[in-house]
Chain A
Amino acid sequence: MIRLIPEREAQIVRKQSGQPGPKLACDRKSVSGSVSQRACAFCGSRVVLYPIADALHIVHGPIGCAVYNWDIRGALSSGPQLHRNSFSTDLQEMEVIYGGEKKLLQALRELIDRYQPKAAFVYSTCIVGVIGDDVNAVCRQVAKEKGIAVIPVASEGFRGTKKTGYMAACEAAYQLVGTRSTEGIGPHSLNILGDFNIAGESWIIRRYFEEMGVQVVATITGDGRVDDLRRCHGAKLNLVQCSGSMTHLAKLLERDHGIPMRRVSFFGLEDTAAALYEAAKFFGDAEILQRTQALVSREVGRVYPELARYREKLAGKKAALYVGGAFKAFSLVKALKLLGMQTVLAGTQTGNAEDYELLREICDDGTVIVDDSNPVELAKFMLELDVDLFIGGVKERPIAYKLGVGFCDHNHERKIPLAGFEGMLHFAREIHGTVMSPVWQFVPRRAKTTRPTAPAPLGNFQSEPPTGAPAPIEEALA
């Protein structure tokens, strides 16, 4: 029996029917001495701004921090590939003693001359915070010299978890906002926040809106461009997908430019449809609504027959998920339900109290809900709950495989787009491929047990179209 760290017990709950149950403790710092799956503020800032493809990203600090996030995220760009470089000032012992400002200045000048970026982001690491480099002054000086925005990101690792870094990134990105003309932005326009174009997902979503007749001003930050950010304050609506990382930016835009925000998710049929309708409803334009309805009907109709086939195979299988943010967790629980699967473990690195309450609501009885987990706990629950599938990121993958459990990367190492209607199909294919893989029959632990495989009937597809929408999805399917 694997024990839990006593301090962590409050961060794990099991849902019981009809009872409110104990509140899950979250928003806590990780316990010193735990094998936390979390990263730091620097990591949070880096992942949020990384996809801005025509900006220069330079990590001010010793080399390690830059190396570890060098070209590891599949945030695709349709144009420049500059963001894939992880430039570093590579601070050495002498600079740690005497300060790294000169080196930063020199690096910025050299890189800006060579690559002619539209803007530069300068990420502070722990060291910079301690040795007291005046990064802001250097940035101001270079900005003046080179005529581009040079933006410091207050991303010192010790400042906190990734969440702290998200805030710093939003603050940094916001410095660009409002610096370019909004000419040509129409009344039916929006920004997509918190999609990072992993495996090309922003492209899928953008295509939907274009078909609906809605102008996408900026995708922030997936396939992001500096100039789009600079004029994104002209959009009429902000759709926030990864709420953990981008809510702050959306709030700034709401505060200063009066742009309302909506939390949405593009994972799963239900949530994708809801997100598109949300936008359509917002603009209140009959034609847009009609086009949206046509799009949803067509896309759902296209993927549904194949999904139904997977559902037959996957019904009753058990899934565990451990992801970064909570909103993704909600979508995944729903998407798994659509595939007839049961989520028996749901956890996030950075969810808040409200998130976990909602997560508890949508999960089945008995589901274990965890905050800021670690490999020992995850392994323990995977075995105890006898899961068939684990959804997580790079650090969880080998644990799942060692235990003989199917795995789906729903983090930045996913290679196929999982967003949108077609993304749901990809998701189902991937889940089916991994859960049903013949390899698991050879796993010693599995070889002895027989698994129930009773197919469940295909349930009704539930989605609430907005009032006044021409036809619900069920009819579209008929």
Chain B
Amino acid sequence: MPHSHGSQGCCAYHRSHLTRHYKEPVIATTSAFTEGASVFGGLANMTQALSNIFSIYNPEIVAVHTTCLSEVIGDDIPMMIKKAQDEGIIPPGKTVIHANTPSFVGSHITGFANMTTAMVRYFAQRTTNAKNQINLIPGFVDPADMRELKRIAHEMGVKLVMFPDTSDVLDLPQTGVYHMYPKGGTTSAALKSTGDSLATLALGYFSAHPAAVELDEKCNVPCAFLEMPIGLTQTDRLIHALRNYAGVDVPASLNYERGRLLDVMSDMHQYFHGKRVAVAGDPDNVISLVQFLTELDMKPVYVITGSPGNHFESRVRELLKEQAPDAKIKQNADLFDLHQWIKNGPVDLLIGNSYCKHIARAENLPFVRFGFPVLDRMSHRLFPTVGYTGALRLLDKIIDALLDKQDRECPDEWFELVQ
């Protein structure tokens, strides 16, 4: 049970927001701060909350995230957890974990990384029984992506512990029954075992690497700092790492998948060549996407992320030094910047989350929805963007967006049946 330690709105807002993206019920409890709590601290609220949560909703784990208010008034969450433990409010065998997630530090990616790291901090244990398994930290991607990563590992015969894992949690089938705790996701036992794994593969500098570092420091698990497996090269890297660390061969089935992706890239390369693209989104996702776009010979001329972090700019600059050395790249940017740039130097394609649709409409741009949040379409939660399969889907969406616009707007004499 995720628990929001703050005012009610913090909890209601993120639940609504996540519901709009995932189209799934998203639950979380709240400490329901009042004016009193803001003066006297949130201990009483936390104690009552934990007591209620365990007696009514009966979760295995309560994952507390903090809010601006609780941070500023100085609530000490570990102390509160310890006190609840001492007072017997936390039933035996149950766990309360926490992460500091005030909105005034970093972005939602910071919060994601902090909670992922908390999973390591509270659960990972090194025992004497080494396990023939690989830890995979996927970064902030959709349930379909997580499912795809597990499928790739399964194809290769690699046993994975992936965390976090929203597949079969935020993409549930319609059964006519509501499950507060769906069967999917990572178990606490699996999280404990991450300390005994062969290695950790962390897919993303911002969202995944911090947890891998923690795991290395805490349990001495070797880690590979990868980027998100979006596009051909990045997926190759993941598969290469899985092969190396787990000591397995790459099955023919994956080679075929790769071959099909390469085939489409070859068949359609003339449509991608030289196209100017604007990209906005979360840093790890954008870094890998930019690399994929360069593989397609597209020119990502404007690349922004709303999250802070110098690594973003330097990494994207490095990726673009051949194809778009003059690209405008900005961390901690907003869509206003992007829109101004586009007005001054048009692009052929816009890739980003739903908020970009205002720009797409204003500038009449082909628009591919990518990343978080997607509030106005549904396929993001069903089909991956990671892996060779995900790359194929992205290609399909890009081609559709470009050619649909051309078919709609070109003069009659240029309107072609065959592309």
Asked if B130 CB lies within 8 Å of chain A CBs, one says no
B23-65 interface (Cβ within 8 A of A): 23-35, 37-38, 44-46, 48-53, 56-57
Chain B: minimal CB distance from A124 (Å)? 12
A116: chain B residues at CB < 8 Å are none
A183-231 interface (Cβ within 8 A of B): none
Please report the C-alpha to C-alpha distance between residue A446 and residue B7 in the assembled complex, in whole angstroms.
39
A69: chain B residues at CB < 8 Å are 13
A132-149 interface (Cβ within 8 A of B): none
Asked if B11 CB lies within 8 Å of chain A CBs, one says yes
B9 is contacted by which of A35, A39, A63 (Cβ under 8 Å)?
A: A39
Given A39-B12, A39-B13, residue A126 in contact with residue B23 (CB < 8 A): no
A65-122 interface (Cβ within 8 A of B): 65, 67-72, 91-93, 95-96
Asked if A436 CB lies within 8 Å of chain B CBs, one says no
B178 adjacent to A375 (CB under 8 Å): yes
A29 is contacted by which of B6, B15, B32 (Cβ under 8 Å)?
A: B32
Given A127-B69, A130-B38, residue A95 in contact with residue B104 (CB < 8 A): yes
A166: chain B residues at CB < 8 Å are none
Please report the C-alpha to C-alpha distance between residue A45 and residue B176 in the assembled complex, in whole angstroms.
37
Chain B: minimal CB distance from A39 (Å)? 4
B180: chain A residues at CB < 8 Å are 375-376
A125 adjacent to B104 (CB under 8 Å): no
Asked if B105 CB lies within 8 Å of chain A CBs, one says yes
Given A64-B13, A68-B16, residue A31 in contact with residue B52 (CB < 8 A): yes
A402 adjacent to B25 (CB under 8 Å): yes
A182: chain B residues at CB < 8 Å are none
A96: chain B residues at CB < 8 Å are 68, 72, 104
B154-205 interface (Cβ within 8 A of A): 172, 174-178, 180
Given A38-B8, A96-B72, residue A399 in contact with residue B25 (CB < 8 A): yes
Chain A: minimal CB distance from B171 (Å)? 11
Chain A: minimal CB distance from B380 (Å)? 15
Asked if B10 CB lies within 8 Å of chain A CBs, one says yes
B30 adjacent to A34 (CB under 8 Å): yes
Please report the C-alpha to C-alpha distance between residue A402 and residue B176 in the assembled complex, in whole angstroms.
6
A282: chain B residues at CB < 8 Å are none
Specify the chain A residue showing the minimal Cβ separation from B22.
A398
Asked if A352 CB lies within 8 Å of chain B CBs, one says no
B403: chain A residues at CB < 8 Å are none
A368: chain B residues at CB < 8 Å are none
A68 adjacent to B17 (CB under 8 Å): yes
Please report the C-alpha to C-alpha distance between residue A131 and residue B72 in the assembled complex, in whole angstroms.
8
Chain A: minimal CB distance from B75 (Å)? 12
B15: chain A residues at CB < 8 Å are 395
A67: chain B residues at CB < 8 Å are 17
Most buried by A among B13, B31, B37: B13
B25 is contacted by which of A41, A159, A375 (Cβ under 8 Å)?
A: A375
A64: chain B residues at CB < 8 Å are 10, 13, 68, 103
Number of A residues near B (Cβ < 8 Å) is 63
Asked if A443 CB lies within 8 Å of chain B CBs, one says yes
A33 adjacent to B105 (CB under 8 Å): no
A33 adjacent to B50 (CB under 8 Å): yes
B17: chain A residues at CB < 8 Å are 67-68
A351: chain B residues at CB < 8 Å are none
B24 is contacted by which of A40, A376, A398 (Cβ under 8 Å)?
A: A398
Asked if A36 CB lies within 8 Å of chain B CBs, one says yes
Most buried by B among A32, A41, A161: A32
Asked if A429 CB lies within 8 Å of chain B CBs, one says no
A401 adjacent to B174 (CB under 8 Å): yes
Chain B: minimal CB distance from A372 (Å)? 10
Asked if B317 CB lies within 8 Å of chain A CBs, one says no
B104 is contacted by which of A92, A158, A160, A404 (Cβ under 8 Å)?
A: A92
Please report the C-alpha to C-alpha distance between residue A446 and residue B177 in the assembled complex, in whole angstroms.
10
Please report the C-alpha to C-alpha distance between residue A38 and residue B33 in the assembled complex, in whole angstroms.
13
Chain B: minimal CB distance from A457 (Å)? 32
A404 adjacent to B176 (CB under 8 Å): yes
Please report the C-alpha to C-alpha distance between residue A404 and residue B103 in the assembled complex, in whole angstroms.
36
B19 adjacent to A394 (CB under 8 Å): yes
B68 adjacent to A32 (CB under 8 Å): no
Chain A: minimal CB distance from B151 (Å)? 24
B178 adjacent to A35 (CB under 8 Å): no
Q: Chain B residues in contact with chain A, CB under 8 A?
A: 3, 6-17, 19-20, 23-35, 37-38, 44-46, 48-53, 56-57, 67-69, 72-73, 102-105, 107, 172, 174-178, 180, 355, 375
Taking A95-B104, A375-B27, A399-B178 as known contacts, 20 extra A-B pairs with beta carbons closer than 8 A to each other, sorted by chain A number, are A5-B52, A33-B3, A33-B31, A33-B51, A35-B27, A39-B13, A68-B17, A91-B104, A92-B105, A93-B104, A126-B38, A130-B69, A157-B9, A161-B8, A375-B178, A395-B15, A398-B23, A401-B174, A402-B172, A444-B176
